A and B are shown apart, each in its own frame.
Chain A
Amino acid sequence: MARGQPAAWSTVFGLPIFLFGVVLFRFQSLLPLPPEPATPPVVGAVLSGFGLFIIAVGVYVHFVVAPAAPRTREGEHIVDQRSPAERNARVQMALALPVLAAGGYVLYFTEQPLVYPTVTFLVGLYLFSTGLRRYWRNLLTTYFVTTRRVLEEYRFISLRRNEVPHSKVRAVEERRSAWDSLFGLGNVTVRSGSSGQLTVAIEEVYEPEAFAETIRDQVGPDRPHEAVDGDDTAPPPGGEADTNETPSLDGTDETGLPANDG
């Protein structure tokens, strides 16, 4: 079962759309709609279907199995575990609902040119759809930091698991947008090289600084994973390491890549 109450929240956001569609489809005479042009009942059917889709996916996300803890190797254990926030996505959906309602009012209850409801609907639907997608995705995503790896797991219908071994980490980047700052969130990106092909993006988590520090502590020298891994490329304890093989953890200096690093 997923975290939070996705079934309840999806019903909160999908039920108004479903009910408005039912009224348009079956009880149109109750609404003060203009007589010409008449609103076709199929509009109500489409809106009802959209509301049902939101509720149904919310129920599915509620009962789908969230990513479990990864299987650890011998001597490996989970140091920290985070899940993306939900509050920012819910606020985005709540902000989108009045915009959608305004678009619906101009489209169905007035005879203004169609460009006005179209633009309003585009803005409202974009906010609402991206908010829904963000909400459900965040519920199904979990980030782990073990003594050997940084992992990202996402499960919806399929499973996506992405990991970067500590021995390959070359940069830890922290980012925080204005929208994220409103909710105390931030993003941490763990890169394994300058090309960014092997990257774990930890998005929209609370206290990103502490999480980034945890990762830095694990990938730095004298960390437990080195003793467990027996990695030949790791710098020897106590310093005096080859600077070309020392991971750059400040997110700004990536010039210390080893020659054989892809």
Chain B
Amino acid sequence: MRFRPSYADVDRAAIPVSSRQTTHGVWAGNTSLRERPVTVDTPTSTETQTPTSTPTFDPLQTKTTTPTPQNTSAGSTCQRGFFTECGGSPLDQATLTLLGALASVLGIVFELVRGN
């Protein structure tokens, strides 16, 4: 005889039940009139979903770890900052390059023309 109970009908199952061999018989008192082996199978997948609450995560304002390709791809949410990797800054690559080059050129020309 084989039977397949639903997993949801199993109460107080501390651990997932594995398939196992057992015996099934007809008994009169303590005397077994007839018995035969049976195999008890457990379902291989859960049929009912355990209700869970969906967690919510708030984005951190600062990061202390090295950025991974996953968070660098989300560039719209992480703008390069001046003192932090995210947070944004009025300065960017173009501004820094322009300021540096201009300051150097003007300083050199001023000093050369002045003659000091």
Interface residues of chain A, those whose CB is within 8 Å of chain B, are: 34-37, 39-40, 42-43, 46-47, 49-50, 53, 57, 107-108, 111-115, 117-118, 121-122, 125, 128-129, 132-133, 136-137, 154, 156-158, 160
Could you mark each residue 98-113 of chain B with 1 if its beta carbon is under 8 Å from any beta carbon of chain A, else 0? Answer: 1011011101100111
Residues B54-90 near A (CB distance < 8 A)? 67, 72-73, 75, 79-85, 89
Distance of B20 from chain A, by nearest CB (Å): 56
Is the Cβ of B92 less than 8 Å from the Cβ of A37?
A: yes
| Interfacial chain A residues near B81, Cβ < 8 Å | 113-114
Is the Cβ of A47 less than 8 Å from the Cβ of B72?
A: no
Those 8 A-B pairs whose CB atoms lie nearest each other, nearest first = A36-B75, A160-B115, A50-B101, A129-B104, A114-B82, A43-B97, A156-B112, A40-B94
Given A107-B97, A133-B107, 9 further pairs, Cβ under 8 A = A46-B97, A46-B101, A50-B105, A57-B108, A107-B93, A113-B80, A113-B83, A121-B96, A154-B115
| Interfacial chain B residues near A129, Cβ < 8 Å | 104, 107-108
Q: What separation, in Å, do the CA atoms of A115 and B98 have in the docked complex?
A: 16
Q: What separation, in Å, do the CA atoms of A40 and B105 have in the docked complex?
A: 21
Is the Cβ of B82 less than 8 Å from the Cβ of A36?
A: no
Is the Cβ of B96 less than 8 Å from the Cβ of A47?
A: no
Distance of B101 from chain A, by nearest CB (Å): 4
Q: What separation, in Å, do the CA atoms of A156 and B67 have in the docked complex?
A: 50
Is the Cβ of B104 less than 8 Å from the Cβ of A113?
A: no
State the majority secondary structure of interface residues on B. helix
Interface residue count for B (Cβ, 8 Å)?
Answer: 30
Is the Cβ of A156 less than 8 Å from the Cβ of B108?
A: no
Interface residues of chain B, those whose CB is within 8 Å of chain A, are: 67, 72-73, 75, 79-85, 89, 91-94, 96-98, 100-101, 103-105, 107-108, 111-113, 115
Is the Cβ of A137 less than 8 Å from the Cβ of B111?
A: yes
Complex: chain A residue closest to B106, CB-CB: A129
Q: Which of B67, B82, B91, B96 has the most CB of A within 10 A?
A: B96
The 8 Å CB contact of A128, one of B67, B80, B104, is B104
Contact (A117, B96) CB under 8 Å given A35-B72, A36-B73, A129-B107: yes
- Give 15 CB contacts A-B under 8 Å: A46-B94, A47-B97, A50-B104, A50-B105, A114-B82, A114-B92, A114-B96, A118-B91, A122-B100, A136-B112, A137-B111, A137-B115, A156-B112, A156-B113, A157-B113
The 8 Å CB contact of A111, one of B85, B96, B113, is B85
Is the Cβ of B112 less than 8 Å from the Cβ of A137?
A: yes
Distance of A153 from chain B, by nearest CB (Å): 10
